[in-house]
Amino acid sequence: MTEQDGTAADLYGGRRLREPDALIRRAGLRGDPDQDQHFLVDDRVLDRVPTYLPDDADTSHLLEVGAGTGALTDRLLAVGDHVTVVERDVRLVEFLRREFADDIEAGTLSVLEGDALEVDLPDFTACVANLPYGISSEITFRLLPEGKPLVLMFQKEFAERMAAAPATDEYGRLSVSAQHYADVEVVEPVPPTAFSPPPAVDSAVVRTTPRAPDYEVDDPEFFLDFVKGMFTQRRKTLRNGIRNTTHITGISDAAAVVEAVDAHDEDLLRKRAGKLAPAQFAELAAIAADVEHRAGDGADDD
40 known ligand binder = yes
* Residue 82, annotated as binding a ligand: no
**Contact present, 152 and 205 (Cβ < 8 Å):** yes
Beta bridge partners of 129: 152
Q: Is 244 annotated among the ligand-binding residues?
A: no
Rounded Cα distance, 76 and 275, in Å: 40
Please report, as a single letter, which amino acid is at residue 216.
E
Give the span between the Cα atoms of 88 and 35, in whole angstroms: 10
Check the annotation: does 66 bind a ligand: yes
Q: Is 188 known to sit in a ligand binding site?
A: no
Q: Are 160 and 94 in contact (CB under 8 A)?
A: no
User: Measured between alpha carbons, how far is 292 from 221 in angstroms, rounded to an integer?
Assistant: 14
Work out whether strand 126-130 and strand 7-12 pair parallel, antiparallel, or are unpaired.
unpaired
Which amino acids are annotated as binding site, given as ranges?
A: 38, 40, 66, 87, 115, 130
Residue list, annotated binding site for S-adenosyl-L-methionine: 38, 40, 66, 87, 115, 130
